[in-house]
Amino acid sequence: AAEQFDTGALAGKTVFITAGPTREALDPVRYISNHSSGKMGYALAQAAVDAGARVRLISGPVNLAAPPRMDVVAVQSADDMLAASMKGIESCDIFIAAAAVADYRPVAVSEHKIKKGAEEVMELRLVKNPDIVASVAALPNKPFTVGFAAETQDLQTYARSKLERKNLDLIVANDVSQPGIGFNSDDNAVTLISRDSVLPLPQTSKRQLASQLIRQIADLYNRAQ
């Protein structure tokens, strides 16, 4: 490990990675979330460690074992994930946002379990969550910032607009309408989009794809220095 730390493509670099879903509490027993497995983020964290980086994996609730040789911070909500991402961000060289953050959370968390009422239709009021990757990319001394875009249509157009809107250095565009890739599956296929390049990475295991992604990220990061 010490050898890798000295010689890998990310030797001596600090990488923060968000992964998994977030959970937004409604009351003590209920929450809003999504089907993200965390597999892509965990595979990226492993690949970054293998490339010699110091890694902090900021993870929402997933069914994956905490990988060795990295700092794993377990979080629940988007607010928690933002706080864990900002803590020590000055030391972060590369920030990779692989988490599927809930876009909205309930306006209020009920202190007690919500009781079923007489009405047939119940309305929930939601408020927008902070955008974690955009908050990181808005910092004056921002790290090299990488986002994901999970889309079911117009992949490149939506991905590129996220790259620009969030001030990212790179976006990993993921077509989640195709069966067998993306959310919850073992394989993935993505297109890497930066301001001046487009690189398709064809379908393979998330593990293989993670090392290809880390290699590309390290390349772009080193060229930007």
State the binding string over 101-140 for ligand CTP (x if CB under 6 A, else -).
x-x-------------------------x-xxx-------
Is residue 63 flagged as an active site residue?
no
Bridge pairing between strands 144-151 and 54-59: unpaired
For residue 136, the SS3 value is helix
Q: Which stretch binds Ca ion (CB under 5 A): 2-10, 101-109, 191-199, 217-225?
A: 101-109
Applying CB under 6 A, does 148 fall inside the site for ligand CTP? yes
131 is in an annotated binding site: yes
CA dihedral 185, 68, 50, 131 (to 10 degrees): 60
Q: Which of residues 13-52 bind ligand CTP (CB under 6 A)?
A: 18
Applying CB under 5 A, does 93 fall inside the site for Ca ion? no
Query: Which residue lies nearer to ligand CTP by CB, 78 or 94?
Result: 78
Output the smallest distance, CB 127 to ligand CTP, in A. Answer: 12
Contact 141, 90 (CB under 8 A): yes
E strand map for 11-84: 14-19, 24-27, 30-32, 54-59, 71-74
| Residue in 34, 63, 129, 174 annotated catalytic | 34
Quote the DSSP letter at residue 114: P
Q: Is 200 left (phi over 0), alpha (psi -120 to 50) or beta?
A: beta
Q: Cα-atom radius of gyration of the chain, to the nearest Å?
A: 18
Render 201-216 in DSSP notation, one character per residue: EEEEEHHHHHHHHHHH
Q: Which of residues 174-203 bind ligand CTP (CB under 6 A)?
A: none
130 is in an annotated binding site: yes
Q: Which stretch binds Ca ion (CB under 5 A): 25-33, 97-105, 107-115, 177-185?
A: 97-105
User: Which single residue is written with the structure tokens 């590369």?
Assistant: 94
Query: Which residue lies nearer to ligand CTP by CB, 10 or 99?
Result: 99
Q: What angle do CA 37, 169, 143 make, to 5 degrees?
A: 85
Q: Which residues are catalytic?
A: 34
Q: Which residues are annotated as a binding site for CTP?
A: 103, 113, 130-133, 148, 162, 166
Which residues contact ligand CTP by CB under 6 A?
Answer: 18, 78, 97, 99, 101, 103, 129, 131-133, 147-150, 162
Which residues contact Ca ion by CB under 5 A?
Answer: 103
